[in-house]
A and B are shown apart, each in its own frame.
Chain A
Amino acid sequence: MVSSTRNDGFVVFEHVQKSYDGESLVVKDLNLAISKGEFLTMLGPSGSGKTTCLMMLAGFETATHGEIRLDGRPINSVPPHKRGIGMVFQNYALFPHMTVGENLSFPLEVRGIGKADREQKIRRALDMVQMGAFANRRPAQLSGGQQQRIALARALVFDPKLVLMDEPLGALDKQLREHMQFEIKHLHETLGITVVYVTHDQGEALTMSDRIAVFNDGRIQQLAPPSDLYERPQNSFVAGFIGENNKLPGTVEEIAEGRALVRLATGELIDATPVNVSRQGQKTLVSIRPERVEFKPEMLPPNAHLIDAEVMEFIYMGDIFRTRLKVAGSEEFVIKSRNTLGQRMLEPGEKIRIGWAPQDARALDPL
Chain B
Amino acid sequence: MADATADLAAEPTGRLTTADGRPLKTALARAQARARRRAFLLVLPLLLFILVTFIVPIGQMLHRSIHNDGFSANMPLLSQWFARTEPGTAPDEAAYAALAADLQAAAKAKTVGVVGTRVNYEMPGTRSLFTSTGRKARGFEPPYREAILQADPKWADPTLWGTMRQVSQAYSPNFFLAAVDLARDNEGNIVQAPPERRVYLMLFQRTFLIAGLITVLCLLLGFPVAHLLATLPLRASNLLMILVLLPFWTSLLVRTTSWIVLLQGQGVVNNTLVATGLITDQNRMQMIYNQTGTIIAMTHILLPFMILPLYSVMRPIPPTYVRAARSLGASSWTAFRRVYLPQTLPGIGAGALLVFILGVGYYITPALVGGASGQLISNLIAFHMQDSLNWSLAAALAAVLLGLVLILYWLYDRLVGIDNLKLG
Instruction: Mark A residues whose CB is within 8 Å of B.
Output: 58-60, 79-81, 83-87, 89, 91, 93, 95-97, 106-107, 110-111, 154-155, 158
Contacts and interface: CB of A to CB of B under 8 A. Distances in A.
Contact of B330 (A58, A60, A87, A110): A110
A113 to B, nearest CB: 10
B327 A80 contact: yes
A84 B334 CA distance: 16
Q: Is the interface of B mostly helix, strand, loop or mixed?
A: helix
A93 B324 contact: yes
A72 B343 CA distance: 38
B323 A107 contact: no
A95 B329 contact: no
Contacts of A81: 326-332, 335
B347 to A, nearest CB: 13
A60 B328 CA distance: 13
A208 B330 CA distance: 30
Contacts of A110: 328-331, 334
Contacts of A91: 318, 320
Nearest to B338: A106
B326 A60 contact: yes
Given A81-B330, A87-B324, A91-B318, 5 more contacts: A60-B326, A81-B329, A95-B325, A96-B343, A158-B328
B342 A106 contact: no
A107 B328 CA distance: 5
Nearest to B318: A91
B199 interface: no
A154 B324 CA distance: 10
Size band of the interface chain B makes with A: 10 to 19
Interface of B: 318, 320-321, 323-332, 334-335, 338-339, 342-343
18 contacts: A59-B327, A79-B331, A79-B332, A80-B323, A80-B326, A81-B330, A85-B327, A93-B318, A93-B320, A95-B321, A97-B342, A110-B328, A110-B330, A111-B329, A155-B327, A155-B328, A158-B328, A158-B329
A106 B328 CA distance: 8
Contacts of B330: 81, 106-107, 110
Nearest to B324: A93
B329 A84 contact: yes
Lowest 4 A-B CB distances belong to which pairs? A107-B328, A93-B324, A87-B327, A93-B320
Contacts of B334: 110
A132 B335 CA distance: 26
A80 B342 CA distance: 22
Contacts of B321: 93, 95
A86 B325 contact: no
Nearest to A107: B328
A86 B327 CA distance: 6
B340 to A, nearest CB: 10
Contacts of B328: 81, 86-87, 106-107, 110, 154-155, 158
A107 B323 CA distance: 13
Contacts of A111: 329
Contact of B324 (A89, A97, A158): A89
A85 B329 CA distance: 8
Contacts of A87: 323-324, 327-328
A79 B324 CA distance: 13
Interface centre among B321, B323, B327 (most CB of A within 10 A): B327
B61 to A, nearest CB: 41
